[in-house]
Amino acid sequence: MNPHPDLTPEVIRGIGWLYLLLFAMNIFWTVRVYKRHEGVGSLAAWAMYTVMLFIVGATHITGGSGPAHFLIRMPTGFKSLVDAGAKPEIYFTLSIALFAAVVWFREQLVKPTVSWLILNGMVLFMTLSMTDYDFRQIVGKPDNVPIVSMLFIVAFFTWLYFKRAVDNDQRIAAGRPLFEQEDNEKVLVWPDLVYTEMICMVVLTAVLVAWGIVLQAPLEEPASASRTPNPSKAPWYFLGLQEMLVYYDPWMAGVVLPSMILVGLMALPYIDFNKKGNGYYTFNERKFSILTFMFGFLPLWIGLIILGTFLRGPNWNFFGIYEFWDVHKLEVLNNINLSEMVWVDRLHQPLPVAPADASALSKIGHILLRESVGLVLVALYLGALPMLMAMTIFRRFFMRMGFIRYMVFANLVLFMACLPIKMVLRWSLNLKYIVAIPEWFFNI
C-alpha cells in the first residue's frame, strides 16, 4: 500500500460531497435572492454558481477518471506560498491584521451578501485544500474535527455579535430605539425556554452519540516514558497555553499567566465602570472593553489553538498547512538571555559569577547583579509603566477608577500584553529570557 496515497477515489468522493453541501447551501441563497428581487444579474450569477457547484460535485462522485487525471486541486503555487510563509511571526502578524480588519470593516462584513461570500470562501478553501495530502492528514484526524468546527462556530458568533452591534450602533447614531427595545418579545420560561432547551439537549445527545459511532476515538500507542509521541500536544483547549511555553518558562506560562487570566476574568465586573452596553449589543459604546476582550480571545486564545493544532508539527516545529510533517526538519533555536546581551555582547565581559567559595549573600548579589537589567526592566514595566499610562493614555480611566482599581486594571492589561511583547522580542532579538535565574527556577 502506498503510504501517501495522494487522491484515492474515496477522497475524491468525499470532496464531491463537500461540493454538494456547498451546492445545497447556495440553493437556499439563490432562492433568497430570487424572493428578495435583488436583480436579474445577481440572481443569474448565483444560479450559475450553484449549478456549477452541482456539476462539479456530481462529477466528483460519479466520475470514472482516476486520481491521476484529477484536475481541480489547490494550485501548487498557492500551497508553496502558504508554506513558505509558515512562520509564527507571520502567522501572528496576520492574525492581528485579520482581527484589525474585521473590526475596521465590520459594517461591510455584516452585510448578508458579504458574509455569505465569506462563508462560501471558507468552505471552498477547505474543500480545495482537502485535495492536499498533508492538509487532509491534519484536518481529517478525528481529534481535530472539533477544532475545525470551532473555526466555523467562532466565526459565526463573531459575525452575530458584529451584526447586532453594528445594527444598534447605527440605531443609536440615527436616534432610533435599540433593536432589543423594539423587538421586545418576551417569552415564557415554560414551555418556550425549557421545552426548547430540552429538545436541543436531546438532539445534541443524539448527535454526539452518532459522532461517537462514526468517528471512533483513535487508539494510539501504549504510554511510555521513553517514547513520547512527537509532537506531544496538550488537549486542544489548552493549546494556547502550550504555545506560551515556547516563549515563557513553564512557571510563567503554566502558572502565572493562566492564573492572571482567571483572576482577570473574575475582576472584570469590578473594573468595568462603563454602564453602557448593558443588555444590548453595541460596539461603539464599549470599544475599549470589547477590543481588549476580543484581542485576548481571538488572536491570543483561538488563534494560538489553531496554531498549535494545525501548524505545530514534530519537534514542535512550525509547518505550513500543506507541508509534510517531516521529523527531520530542523529549526535554529539560538536564543540568548537579556543578561548575556548586556554583559557579553554590549560590555564584552563574562557574566558575573560568584567565586566558588563565596558566601550565600555574595552569590545572591552576583545573581541579582547579573540579571539587574532585566529586573529593572520588569520593575519598570509593572511599576512605572502604569503610572506613565495613567498620566497619558489612561488618564480618563485613572480618574474614574481610583488608584487601586486602576493599578489592578493596568497590571492585567500589561500581563496580557506581555505575551505579544515577548513574542516580538523573541522574533526580533532572539531573546530567551528577560530575567533568567535558573538557580531559583525563576525565568521571565
Partner 1 sequence: MPATEEYARNLRSLHVVSAASAFVLLGATLWMMQADYADEWRGIQKVATEAEAQKIDDDLLKLETKDFETEEARLKEAVEAGRNAVKAEQDKVDKAAAEVSHLEGQSQKLTRDVKFQNAKRDKTRADYDLKVRDEASREELSNYRKIFEGEQTKADNGALELQQLQAKLDEANKTLAALTKPRDEALAAKKKHETELDRLTKAKEIIAPDPKKPSEVGMAFKRWLMQLPIIEGFNGPVKVNQIWLPDLTVTLGMKEAARYDRCITCHVNIDKVQTGNVLDYPHDPHGISMKNADEYLHGKKVRSSDGTTVVKKKSRVREDGSIVGYNHPFSTHPNPDLYLTAASPHPMQKFGCTSCHEGQGSGTSFQNASHSPNSPDIAEKWHKDYGYSYNHFWEYPMFPERLREAACLKCHHNVVELGVNPKFGNSAPTVFKGYELIRQYGCFGCHEINGYAAGKPIGPDMRLEPQTPEEAERIAADPLAVAGTMRKVGPGLRHFAAKTTRGWTENWVEEPKRFRPETRMPQFFNLTNQSDKHAKELQPVEIAGIVEYLFSKSEKLTLEHWDAAYTPDAERGKLLFSQRGCAACHSHDDLVGGKADFGPNLTNAHQKIASIEWLYTWLREPTRHSARTRMPNLYLEPETVNGVTVNPAADIAAFLLVKRDDQGKALPDGDGKLVHDDVGPGRFKQLVQPGVYLGCTFAPTRERTGWRGQATDGPRGAKVASVMPGSPASRTFRVAAPAEEKGAKGTSADSLAAGDVIVRYKGIDVRDAAHLEELVSASPAGEEVTISISRQGANLEMHLTPDTPLHDLTRWYLSKVMTAAKVSAALKTKSYPETEAAAIKAASVKPDEIELINGEITDETMLRYIGRRSISRYGCYGCHDIPGFEKARPIGTGLFDWGRKDPTKLALEHIEEYLHHHGEADGSSTAQRAEKALLNGVNDNFDSVEERDRETAVGYFFDQLNHHGRAGFLWQKLRDPRSYDFKKIETKGYDERLRMPKFPFSESDIEAITTFVLGLVGEPPAVKYVYHPSVPAKARIEGEKLLAKFNCTGCHMVELPEITGVPEDLTPYKLEASDFPQALDLLLKVRPPRDARTTRKLPTGEDAIKFHAMLVQPINPDDDPEDQSAFYDLWEPITIGDKGDINKLLLPPNRIELKAKKLLSQTTGRGGAFSEWLVDASVKGTVGPKVERSVAREMAPPTLFEEGIKVQTPWLYAFLKSPDRLRYTTVLRMPHFNMSNDEAEKLANYFAAVDSASFPYQEIPQREPQYLETKEHEHPHYLRDAWEVITKAPPTGVCAGCHAVGGREFVAGNDPTKVTRGPNLDRVYSRLQPDWLQIWLYNPKWITPYTRMPQNFVGNKEMFPELFGGKGQLQAVAARDALMNYLQLLEKEGKATAAVAAQPAGAEGDK
**Residue 380's CB: how many other CB atoms inside 10 A?**
12
For the CB of residue 235, give the shortest distance to partner 1 in the complex, in Å.
Answer: 19
Q: Where on the chain is the footprint of partner 1 (CB under 8 A)?
A: 1-3, 185-188, 191-192, 195-196, 198-199, 202-203, 205-207, 209-210, 212-213, 219-227, 230, 327
Q: Which residue has the cell 533568567?
A: 436
Phi, psi dihedrals of residue 312, rounded to the nearest 5° = -95, 120
Kindly tell me which of 187 and 262 has the beta carbon lying closer to partner 1.
187
- Alpha helices by DSSP H, listed for 130-144, are 133-139
List the alpha helices (DSSP H) in 349-402: 360-370, 372-379, 385-391, 395-401
3-state helix, strand, coil in the chain (%, to 5): 70, 0, 30
Give the span between the Cα atoms of 314 and 302, in whole angstroms. 21
Cβ of residue 205: shortest distance to partner 1, in angstroms?
6
Residue 150 CB contacts under 8 Å (≥ 6 apart), including other chains: 302, 305
Smaller CB separation from partner 1, 187 or 356: 187
Nearer to partner 1, 71 or 223 (CB): 223
CB of 207 to partner 1, least distance (A): 8
Q: How far is CA 177 from CA 129, 169, 183, 284, in A?
A: 45, 10, 10, 15
Helix (H, G, I), strand (E, B) or coil at 376: helix
Nearest approach, Cβ of residue 345 and partner 1 (Å): 23
In this structure, what C-alpha cell is assigned to residue 180? 432589543
Considering beta carbons, is residue 113 or 228 the nearer one to partner 1? 228
**Minimum distance from residue 239 beta carbon to partner 1 (Å):** 22
Nearest to partner 1 of 80, 228 (CB atom): 228
Cβ atoms < 10 Å from Cβ of 184? 9
Contact 427, 333 (CB under 8 A): no
**CB 262 to partner 1: min, Å:** 33
If the CB atoms of residues 14 and 420 are measured against partner 1, the closer one turns out to be 14
Q: Residue 358: helix, strand or coil by DSSP?
A: coil
CB closer to partner 1, 69 vs 227: 227
In terms of CB distance, is 153 or 206 closer to partner 1? Answer: 206
Considering the complex, what minimum distance in angstroms separates the CB of residue 35 from partner 1?
Answer: 22
- Closest to partner 1 by CB, 210 or 399: 210
Handedness of CA 217, 218, 224, 230 (dihedral sign): negative
Q: What CA dihedral angle connects 276, 280, 282 and 285, to 10 degrees?
A: -10
Nearer to partner 1, 213 or 332 (CB): 213
CB of 228 to partner 1, least distance (A): 10
What 8-state DSSP symbol labels residue 217? P
d(CA 67, CA 311): 27
Instruction: Name the residue with cell 484581542.
Output: 295
Contacts of 427 (CB under 8 A, 6+ apart): 88, 89
